[in-house]
Amino acid sequence: MAKKDIPEINAGSMADIAFLLLIFWLVTTTMDRDMGLRLTLPQELPPCEDCPEVRDRNVLKIAVNGKDELQIEEERAEIEDVEQWVDDFYNSDADNMPERHLVNENTIADTMARLAILINETKLIPDENLKVALLDKYEKALEEWEGKESCLELTKEPFMCISKRAVIRYESNNGTTFETYFEVLDQIKGVLKRLRNDFSMSAFGMTYDQMEKLEDGGDKSLRPMIKAVRVRYPLRLLEPDARNI
């Protein structure tokens, strides 16, 4: 009986088929995977029931657009107008200017007593995270009023203190020139410098700049007076990132 020839298997063709099957398997097992950046979405926050409201009067808006045009409170203005607006921001009782409160012996005593009670009550809160957050808030407020008390003791005169929420918001544009940007900024800071120097000279017999220079030279005895000037006229300047305005 004659032998039946067994056909040879083409190894090259088998390799091609195996390769195609491998590609098919890789495609079908990966095509369902999500593509994109791995991000964790923030949790939805509950409605804020006790959030402090920032009133428009507590924000002085100063902006320079890409054409170097100045706006104050969303109205066209000149750079020379900045000085009066910033001066009023710190000193005026007008309805469109920041809220202010009286600082005297009575308001200091009442406020610090209330804060002491709040701090003691907060220490009893079982929720550690809530307790830490509230203690930080009340202790910062207590430190702020201790600064006002020190200022009153040094100057011997009650004074009106600008709201801690008051801020000068200075916005610029990506197209604003450096010259205009710094010219407006110098106006803002120049008013604060003048107010601090005038108050310091009246209260302590030397300017704020002189006291800072002496302190930098090693005279630490002036530190309480420097702090008192900053309490009366704090730096309240906010500069958001440049944008298109």
What's the mean pLDDT when you consider all of the chain?
A: 86
Asked whether residue 27 carries a pLDDT value surpassing 70, the answer given is no
> Chain-centre distance of CA 60, in angstroms?
15
Residue in the structure block whose two tokens are 């005026």: 92
pLDDT of residue 206: 96
Closest residue by Cα to residue 90 from 215, 217, 230, 207: 230
> For 1-23, what is each residue's pLDDT tens digit?
555 555 555 555 666 676 677 66
Cβ 161 vs Cβ 52: under 8 Å: no
- Among 29-38, 39-48, 80-89, name the one with the lowest average pLDDT: 29-38
Q: pLDDT class for 240, splitting at 50, 70, 90?
A: confident
SS3 of 37-85: the string is CCCCCCCCCCCCCCCCCCCHHHEEEEEECCCCCEEECCEEECHHHHHHH
pLDDT of residue 104: 97
Report CA dihedral (194, 197, 203, 204) to the nearest 10 degrees: -170
> For 176-214, what is each residue's pLDDT tens digit?
999 999 999 999 999 999 999 999 999 999 999 999 999
SS3 of the chain: the string is CCCCCCCCCCHHHHHHHHHHHHHHHHHHHHCCCCCCCCCCCCCCCCCCCCCCCCCHHHEEEEEECCCCCEEECCEEECHHHHHHHHHHHHHCCCCCCCCEEEECHHHHHHHHHHHHHHHHHHCCCCCHHHHHHHHHHHHHHHHHHHHHHHHHHHHCCCEEEECCCCEEEEECECCCCHHHHHHHHHHHHHHHHHHHHHHHHHHHCCCHHHHHHHHHCCCHHHHHHHHHHHHHCCCCEECCCCECC
> For 115-152, what is each residue's pLDDT tens digit?
999 999 999 999 999 999 999 999 999 999 999 999 99
Q: Where are the domains of the chain?
A: 55-99+166-245, 101-162
What is the value of pTM for the model shown? 0.72
Q: pLDDT class for 36, splitting at 50, 70, 90?
A: very low
Asked whether residue 42 carries a pLDDT value surpassing 80, the answer given is no
Q: Phi and psi for 113 in degrees, rounded to 5?
A: -65, -45
Q: Which residue has the higher pLDDT, 228 or 45?
A: 228
End-to-end CA distance of the chain: 99
Cβ 135 vs Cβ 141: under 8 Å: no
pLDDT of residue 202: 96
**127: Cβ contacts below 8 Å, ≥ 6 apart:** none
